[in-house]
Structure 1
């Protein structure tokens, strides 16, 4: 056994740490097993308020949905937090003269998600320090879209309005989120701004649990390294009136 900087490391320990690091890197791209869960029995969503509304589309180049996924467990330092984003937000927002009577129906193709763009990791601060390699990012995305989200069967995430209350600049929006064949209803505090040229800017966020949508968070080493069940979702939508 040799000493370096006052600390002893045996070849066995160095080998174990090296193997552990490689296993963890692979684990970030490994699939968590999914649990088949049928959609909740929820009341039907109200009809969209199309009559008399101004229809808006999402300006994709200026909009984004962002999901933060966190590492967990005693060995969390060997894993990565991840920033998952898309600008491909489709559908229509129907704005009534009274905002609380407005509604929307949005769709997000899951294949549009990208993982760990360097500038976006920097924006999220120290918890997202370091940069996974291009190969790690590609592997993580492949497994996310395959065994985790099963995009072959469930290619789209949908967001459907159920109602709104509160002031027009800060409404609390009831929304039905459908992902992986499972639907859940949430209340989302949302800020609305007028941006000129008839455009609106809508921002907000919510927390989702993977298990709510039939996804079992990834874990290895009996939970010593895992992915936290909670995901934080934020959105920045720029809306422009559709041409009549």
Structure 2
């Protein structure tokens, strides 16, 4: 075997070791669906003051019946050597307040970073064909360790991600929702398309939207000068249930 072939094999082996859970998955790279967004404010937005409960119906988020998924997409020249990933939270807590005048309704939610799970088989199946369920345990752990490090979520110093209502208009049948999201020490506002249903004492809300990691001071994972990387844009998919207090 020639030195050229041996050198290529050696470089390929190093690249595969650096993938940290982005193992080969020969499927087309799916990019997150475009959703409208509000330009980030020049300075971090101040958290909205908590409303008076007078005149509002209060719903508490039920973590056992709620889930939030973050779809992470591979990129780069060697994207075919990587996996797309699903990061999930089943620890969402918070509350929703509903008023007869819908624009005076709102919500506040949070979930702990340390309790995020990576590539649950059921979550991957639900995410579609670009997320095949067969992911080695070592790859899942490598991906989770990478996302918790300082350059990404920095779980040690920023244990929670929070989401609050920034502006609400429209109606419960056709809501227009803008949310204020805080990750680490950065706060940004995004438009959140949502479907809301109230049935008796139960409220459900579901939808999806996109965010960029760099908007929150996170550095997307990358190796080999970007030949294999995680795309900046993430897709957030949520399905929440709240019960009247």
- TM-score, length of structure 2 as denominator length: 0.83
Give the alignment partner of residue 192 of structure 1, picking from 193, 196, 220: 196
Match of 1:154 in 2: 158
Q: 1:58–1:240: 8 Å Cα contact kept in structure 2?
A: yes
Pair 1:84 & 2:87 matched: yes
Alpha-carbon spacing, 1:77–1:51, altered in 2? closer, same or farther (3 Å): same
- Give the aligned CA root-mean-square deviation in angstroms: 2.3
Secondary structure in 1 aligned to 2:144? helix
Matches within 5 A, 1:60-79: 60-79=63-82
Q: Give the alignment partner of residue 163 of structure 1, picking from 161, 164, 167.
A: 167
SS in 1 for 2:123: helix
Give the superposition deviation at 1:21: 2.3
Following TM superposition, by how much is the alpha carbon of 1:78 offset from its aligned partner in structure 2, in angstroms? 0.9
Give the match for residue 38 of structure 2: none
SS of equivalent to 1:208: strand
1:201 matched to 2:204: yes
Q: Cα deviations across residues 160-201 of structure 1 (Å, max 9, x unaligned)?
A: 11221112122111211000110001121211113x342111
Which structure 1 segments of 5+ residues have no match?
A: 3-8, 29-38
Query: Per-residue deviation at 1:131?
Result: 2.6
Rounded Cα–Cα distance in structure 2 between residues aligned with 1:18 and 1:130: 24
Q: Where is the strand percentage greater, Structure 1 or Structure 2?
A: 1
Match of 1:53 in 2: 56
Measured after TM superposition, the shift of residue 66 of structure 1 is 0.7
SS of the aligned residue for 1:94 comes to strand
Higher gyration radius (CA): 1
Q: Secondary structure at the match of 1:52?
A: coil
Structure 2: gaps spanning 5 or more residues? 24-41
Within 5 A, what are the aligned runs for 1:21-36? 21-25=16-20
Contact 2:89–2:115, Cα closer than 8 Å, also in 1: yes
| Inter-CA distance 130–65: structure 2 relative to 1 (3 Å threshold) | closer
Q: TM-score, normalised by structure 1?
A: 0.84
Following superposition, the deviation at residue 26 of structure 1 comes to 5.9
CA, structure 1 residues 82+102, in 2 after alignment: closer, same or farther (shift >3 Å)?
A: same
